[in-house]
Structure 1
Amino acid sequence: MTISFSPTRCLLAALICLGTGQALAAGPKLTLSPWAPGLTVETLAFLPADLGPQRLAASERDGLLLLDEQGAPLASLPGTFSGLDRRAAGQQVLLASLDNRRQQALLVSLDPRQRRFGQPVYLPTRDFPVSGLCLYRDDASNLFLFLVGEEGKGEQWLVGHGAQLNPQPQRVRGVPLPPSAQFCQVDDGANQLLVNEENVGWWAYPAHPEAEVVRVPVALRAPFGDVSQVAGAMALVPGGVVALDPKAAQLHLYQQQGAAWTGAATLAVSGLKEPENLALRATAKGLQLLLRDDDDGRLYQGELDWQAKPVPLAPVLPSVGALAQSEPVGRQGDAADDPAIWIHPQQPALSRVLGTNKKQGLLAYDLQGKLLQELSVGRLNNVDVRPNFKLGQQTVDLAVASNRDHNSLSLFSIDRSSGELREAGEIATPLKEIYGICLFQPASGELYAIANGKDGTFLQYRLSAPSGVVQGELVRQFKVDSQPEGCVADDQRQRLFLGEEDVGVWAVDARADQPAQLTSVIKVGPQLHADVEGLALYQSPSRDYLVISSQGNDSYLVLDAEPPFASRGAFRVGLNAAAGIDGASETDGLEVTAVNLGGAWSKGMLVVQDGRKRMPEQTQNFKFVPWAEVTQALQLP
Structure 2
Amino acid sequence: MKPVVMMSLLATALAAHAQAVPETVPAGVAKARDLAALAEGWLILDKNAVRLVDAAGAERASLPVRGRQLDVRTGADGAALAIVTDANAERVIPLRADSRAGTLAALPALPETGYGIEAACLYRDAQHLTYTFLIGKDGQAEQWLMDGDAPRRIRRLALPPHVQACRVDDATGTLYVAEEGIGVWAYRADAEGAPARRAVALAPPYGKLADGAQALAVVPGGVAAADGMGTLHAWRRTADAWTAVGVAGKGVENLATDAGGRLLARGDGGWRRVPLALKAAAPVAPLPVVMPRAQTEPVARNGDAADDPAIWQHPADPAASRVLGTNKKQGLLVYDLQGRQRQLLEAGRLNNVDVRQDVAFGAERFDLALATRRDDNLMVLFTIAADGTVAEAARLPTELDEIYGACVYRPAGGGLDAFVNDKDGRYLHYRIGRAGGRFTAQVVRRFRTASQPEGCVADEASGQLFVGEERRGLWVTSADAAREAKLTMALPAGGVLKADVEGVGVYRADGRSYVVVSSQGNDSYVVLDATAPYKVRGAFRIGVNVVDGIDGASETDGLEVTSANLGGPYARGMLVVQDGHKRMPDGPQNFKLVAWDDIARALGLD
* Superposition TM-score tier, normalisation by shorter sequence: over 0.9
Q: Give the whole-Å Cα distance in 2 for the aligned partners of 1:444 and 1:345.
A: 23
Partner of 2:400: 431
Partner of 1:280: 257
The reply on whether 1:43 has 2:34 as its aligned counterpart is: yes
Give the CA deviation at 1:68: 4.0
Secondary structure of the equivalent of 2:158? coil
Alignment of 1:85-484 (within 5 A): 85-89=71-75, 90-160=77-147, 166-245=148-227, 247-269=228-250, 272=251, 275-281=252-258, 283=260, 287=262, 289-293=264-268, 300-390=270-360, 394-415=364-385, 417-484=386-453
Partner of 1:567: 536
**1:147-186 residue CA offsets vs partner (Å, 9 max, x unmatched):** 11111111110002xxxxx441000011211101020011
**1:487-539 residue CA offsets vs partner (Å, 9 max, x unmatched):** 00011111111011111111111111111111110101111111100000011
Partner of 1:296: none
Q: Is contact 1:499–1:533 with CA below 8 Å preserved after alignment?
A: yes
Assess, with a 3 A threshold, how the Cα gap between structure 1 residues 33 and 77 changes in structure 2: closer, same or farther: closer
Normalised TM-score (structure 2): 0.93
Secondary structure of the equivalent of 1:241? strand
The reply on whether 1:493 has 2:462 as its aligned counterpart is: yes
Q: Is contact 2:291–2:552 with CA below 8 Å preserved after alignment?
A: yes
Q: Give the whole-Å Cα distance in 1 for the aligned partners of 2:282 and 2:188.
A: 16
Q: Give the whole-Å Cα distance in 1 for the aligned partners of 2:457 and 2:431.
A: 16
Q: Give the whole-Å Cα distance in 2 for the aligned partners of 1:466 and 1:529.
A: 44
Give the CA deviation at 1:38: 10
Alignment of 1:540-551 (within 5 A): 540-551=509-520
**Which of 532, 539, 543 is 2:501 aligned to?**
532
Q: Give the whole-Å Cα distance in 1 for the aligned partners of 2:528 and 2:217.
A: 42
Q: Give the whole-Å Cα distance in 1 for the aligned partners of 2:485 and 2:98.
A: 66
Q: Is contact 1:250–1:266 with CA below 8 Å preserved after alignment?
A: no
Identity between Structure 1 and Structure 2 (%): 46
Give the CA deviation at 1:119: 4.4
Q: Give the whole-Å Cα distance in 2 for the aligned partners of 1:484 and 1:186.
A: 37
Q: Give the whole-Å Cα distance in 2 for the aligned partners of 1:167 and 1:429.
A: 53
Assess, with a 3 A threshold, how the Cα gap between structure 1 residues 264 and 290 changes in structure 2: closer, same or farther: closer
Q: Is contact 1:509–1:517 with CA below 8 Å preserved after alignment?
A: yes
1:336 partner letter: A
Give the CA deviation at 1:282: 6.3
Of residues 619-628 and 101-110 in structure 1, the stretch that sits farther from structure 2 once superposed is 101-110
**May I ask how many residue pairs the two structures share in their alignment?**
583
Give the CA deviation at 1:335: 0.5
2:428 partner letter: L
1:281 partner letter: D
Give the CA deviation at 1:458: 0.8
Q: Give the whole-Å Cα distance in 2 for the aligned partners of 1:66 and 1:276.
A: 22
Alignment of 1:72-91 (within 5 A): 72-89=58-75, 90-91=77-78
Partner of 1:515: 484
**1:214-234 residue CA offsets vs partner (Å, 9 max, x unmatched):** 111111112222212241101
Once superposed, which parts of structure 1, at least 4 consecutive aligned residues long, lie more than 6 Å away? 31-34
**1:201-220 residue CA offsets vs partner (Å, 9 max, x unmatched):** 00111111103211111111
Give the CA deviation at 1:315: 3.8
Give the CA deviation at 1:58: 2.1
Q: Is contact 1:390–1:465 with CA below 8 Å preserved after alignment?
A: no
Give the CA deviation at 1:33: 9.2
Unaligned runs of 5+ in 1: 1-30, 161-165, 294-298
**1:186-208 residue CA offsets vs partner (Å, 9 max, x unmatched):** 11111111001110000111111
Partner of 1:28: none
Q: Give the whole-Å Cα distance in 1 for the aligned partners of 2:325 and 2:55.
A: 60
1:117 partner letter: L
Secondary structure of the equivalent of 1:151? coil
The reply on whether 1:629 has 2:598 as its aligned counterpart is: yes
Q: Is contact 2:54–2:99 with CA below 8 Å preserved after alignment?
A: no
2:34 partner letter: T
Give the CA deviation at 1:371: 0.4
Q: Give the whole-Å Cα distance in 1 for the aligned partners of 2:484 and 2:450.
A: 17
**1:10-53 residue CA offsets vs partner (Å, 9 max, x unmatched):** xxxxxxxxxxxxxxxxxxxxx999955995x4322222xxx22x
Unaligned runs of 5+ in 2: 1-22
Of residues 100-109 and 571-580 in structure 1, the stretch that sits farther from structure 2 once superposed is 100-109
Q: Give the whole-Å Cα distance in 2 for the aligned partners of 1:69 and 1:93.
A: 15
Q: Is contact 2:52–2:104 with CA below 8 Å preserved after alignment?
A: no
**1:443-502 residue CA offsets vs partner (Å, 9 max, x unmatched):** 332310111111111111111223221001211111111111100001111111101111
